[in-house]
Structure 1
Amino acid sequence: MTLTARPKTNRPRILETARKQVLEDGVGLTEDQLVQILQLPDDALPAALQLAHEVRLKHCGEDVEVEGIISIKTGGCPEDCHFCSQSGVFDSPVRGIWLDIPELVKAAKETAASGATEFCIVAAVRGPDVKLMNQIKFAIDRINEEVDINIACSLGMLTQRQVAQLKDWGVHRYNHNLETARSYFPQVVTTHTYEERLETCAMVKDAAMDLCCGALIGMGESLEQRAELAAQLAALEPHEVPLNFLNPRPGTPLENQGLMDGKDALRAIAAFRLAMPRTVLRYAGGRELTLGDLGTREGLLGGINAVIVGNYLTTLGRPATADLNLLVELNMPIKELQKTL
């Protein structure tokens, strides 16, 4: 799908409206207003990013949360998410691998040593079975014995019982992404529905666990659908939104999708912050290619207040030291560990 062309004229009025509505009153922009932010011309982009940064500082504070992630089960997933190289449906080079518990503990230690306060255990599954849940419980116990770090999980769609188990085991945050707008979801996933994802998100929130619910943009959605996604996430009120940019993977249906334009990515960062003034907005996958070093810096000064450091599940990220050094350079304090387990 071709992205909607941006108008050539500046639209300062929407930024004036956002300053009053979001910065001063703390009320996120509506879907129609977000379209206007995503349509801003290049010469208005610095002002939009500056406003988003001011919103972040006022409503979230100056701290930046750092997280590391690792997969306990990689590849072989039965779902057909068109962007994902871990799907067993496509001819992808990623094959099924299980990580043992000592490797998980080692990864948690390395994550904590990098300055991260959060360690997320991920599995490429539709949802966890009894075997996987038992492994997760054992892994959590071993990590807690040796590492002082908050533990999160991302294990696909859950049952009510599984939500309760994770809560009892001390998992304080669960990740389950919407990925894209409701109207575009059938173009990206056919093996489960948007509503099924929402059901897991609702159960997590009802259990008083932090909900981490992210977006993947640059998959061919229109600007209107990008705004739709931001508004739908805002309505869900997650604690955290990881913002991913498509990194086209070989063997997937989106392997030939071009990289998202860096300025469009920055417009999206500003829009998501102005949609959700109090939400943790985390840099996630694909930013290295889409934004590069300069864009990464601009995003941190444009509404981002959390970062995944190191590598992702199947792709390389920036070295953790590069991100940590950048945070120091920008005088952005890393959030202190607040143990919840």
Structure 2
Amino acid sequence: MTTATQDAQGSALDESNILELARTKVLERGEGLNYEETLAVLNLPDEKIEELLELAHEVRVKWCGDEVEVEGIVSLKTGGCPEDCHFCSQSAMFNSPVRAARIDIPELIESAKQTRKTGASEFCIVAAVRGPDERLMNDLIDATHAIKDEVDIEIAASVGMITLEQAQRLKDAGVHRYNHNLETSESYFPQVVTTHTFEERIDTLKNVRQVGMEVCTGGILGLGETREQRAEFAQNLASVDPTEVPMNFLDPRPGTPFADKEPMEANEALRAIGAFRLALPKTTLRFAGGRELTLGDLGAEQGLLGGINAVIVGNYLTTLGRPAETDLDMLGKLRLPIRALNETI
């Protein structure tokens, strides 16, 4: 019987032993928690959260290092998306305040320059589409070349579902990481999106990996999923072995089907951060949208000392973030070094 099997077949998992098991399995051996173990962590009582976050921080320092990766994002094409992701104000199906817009390459270059000045090593170009048409592909490729000519920064992209051929073209242009979020667990996905399937998203990630780009995939917590589905989601993510997992928290957007949902409670978010770190010990976990609403300043600090090792600075696609200087000051206060560019190339 293997050690992992012994772990799984040991005494019933509960608050009295799950963190002890995680210390052995995750911290010492670098193995992620399975579904039942992740669920046990998500069911920990509030008084165990501090202990959970301390362990999660130890795990991330041991297996990922103590540096924090900083990224900025910009939208090449905003709004007018034909998909019906129920949380998203960029869908053309919903009566939201967001209107379709597009920016040009000089604006992208300037945004990349401003992002680099924050110390960021990563710049992600995003478009609200089901998948890129030929015009968008050409714009993205031209923008990638133009930015790399003028700015010393890595380029990531997120333009929906892509074919193997499109993935190869982006890789050849210099895009090193591609983001396509699974958004939520496979079982809850039909309650969030109906215009495409969970498997279609998986197919895009397979194409990204096949051409040699880094896989970036995460989602949004607090969409109405259960803790069981949250644990399932962590395992869905682990199954595709991502380099990076963006962790968003629902910021209900006017005009969307999820506009009336309550934001996730801070302790639930902190439990999830710790649980996802223990399920994904060697993955970059990035603070993304909604953390300001869900966690505030104190909670963000707790997250960065509880498993998070990357942040998006500045604004998001359709919601305001924190000023980059505020996040950089927070990293300085917590004595967390920013990952240098030459260490990411």
Q: Secondary structure at the match of 2:157?
A: strand
Q: Which of 18, 26, 35 is equivalent to 2:30?
A: 26
Asked if 1 retains the 8 angstrom alpha-carbon contact of 2:292 and 2:321, the reply is: yes
Residue 304 (str. 1) matches residue 308 (str. 2): yes
Q: Which of 253, 276, 301 is equivalent to 1:249?
A: 253
Q: Distance in 1 between matches of 2:344 and 2:297?
A: 33
- Report the CA distance shift for 1:339/1:41 in structure 2 as closer, same or farther (over 3 A): closer
Alpha-carbon offset, residue 12 of structure 1: 2.7
- Report the CA distance shift for 1:339/1:99 in structure 2 as closer, same or farther (over 3 A): farther
Other-structure match for 1:157: 161
Q: Secondary structure at the match of 1:172?
A: strand
Alpha-carbon offset, residue 338 of structure 1: 2.5
Other-structure match for 1:210: 214
Q: Distance in 2 between matches of 1:144 and 1:331?
A: 30
Q: Distance in 2 between matches of 1:334 and 1:208?
A: 25
The amino acid of 1:121's aligned partner reads I
Alpha-carbon offset, residue 302 of structure 1: 0.2
Matches within 5 A, 1:225-240: 225-240=229-244
Q: Distance in 2 between matches of 1:117 and 1:154?
A: 17
Other-structure match for 2:5: none
The amino acid of 1:54's aligned partner reads E
Other-structure match for 1:59: 63
Structure 2 unaligned spans of 5+ = 1-13
Other-structure match for 1:334: 338
Other-structure match for 2:73: 69
Matches within 5 A, 1:250-329: 250-329=254-333
Q: Secondary structure at the match of 2:322?
A: coil
Matches within 5 A, 1:168-183: 168-183=172-187
Alpha-carbon offset, residue 339 of structure 1: 7.9
Alpha-carbon offset, residue 145 of structure 1: 1.6
Over residues 214-262 of structure 1, what are the superposed CA-to-partner deviations in whole Å (9 max), with x where a residue is unaligned? 1211000000000000011011100000000000000000000000000
Asked if 2 retains the 8 angstrom alpha-carbon contact of 1:149 and 1:339, the reply is: no
Over residues 118-155 of structure 1, what are the superposed CA-to-partner deviations in whole Å (9 max), with x where a residue is unaligned? 00000000000000011111111211121100000000
Q: Which of 182, 188, 195 is equivalent to 1:191?
A: 195
Other-structure match for 1:146: 150
Q: Secondary structure at the match of 1:338?
A: helix
Q: Distance in 2 between matches of 1:178 and 1:130?
A: 24
Q: Distance in 2 between matches of 1:340 and 1:219?
A: 32
- Report the CA distance shift for 1:247/1:268 in structure 2 as closer, same or farther (over 3 A): same
Q: Which of 96, 99, 109 is equivalent to 2:113?
A: 109
Q: Secondary structure at the match of 2:339?
A: coil
Asked if 2 retains the 8 angstrom alpha-carbon contact of 1:156 and 1:176, the reply is: yes
Structure 1-normalised TM-score? Answer: 0.96
Q: Secondary structure at the match of 1:243?
A: strand
Q: Distance in 2 between matches of 1:104 and 1:303?
A: 31
Q: Distance in 2 between matches of 1:36 and 1:162?
A: 41
Asked if 1 retains the 8 angstrom alpha-carbon contact of 2:121 and 2:344, the reply is: no
Structure 1 unaligned spans of 5+ = 1-9
Q: Which of 139, 147, 171 is equivalent to 1:135?
A: 139
Q: Distance in 2 between matches of 1:270 and 1:340?
A: 25
Q: Which of 120, 123, 126 is equivalent to 1:122?
A: 126
Asked if 2 retains the 8 angstrom alpha-carbon contact of 1:28 and 1:275, the reply is: yes
Q: Distance in 2 between matches of 1:197 and 1:135?
A: 23
Structure 2-normalised TM-score? Answer: 0.95
Other-structure match for 1:6: none
Q: Distance in 1 between matches of 2:127 and 2:343?
A: 23
Over the residues paired in the alignment, what is the CA RMSD in angstroms?
1.0
Asked if 2 retains the 8 angstrom alpha-carbon contact of 1:167 and 1:209, the reply is: yes
Asked if 2 retains the 8 angstrom alpha-carbon contact of 1:148 and 1:339, the reply is: no
Q: Distance in 1 between matches of 2:336 and 2:274?
A: 18
Q: Among all aligned residue pairs of Structure 1 and Structure 2, give the percentage whose two residues are the same amino acid.
A: 61
**How many residues are aligned here?**
332
Q: Distance in 1 between matches of 2:275 and 2:56?
A: 8
Q: Which of 87, 91, 99 is equivalent to 1:95?
A: 99
Q: Secondary structure at the match of 2:175?
A: coil
Other-structure match for 2:51: 47
Q: Secondary structure at the match of 1:200?
A: helix
Over residues 30-75 of structure 1, what are the superposed CA-to-partner deviations in whole Å (9 max), with x where a residue is unaligned? 1111111111001100000000000000000011000000000000
Other-structure match for 1:167: 171
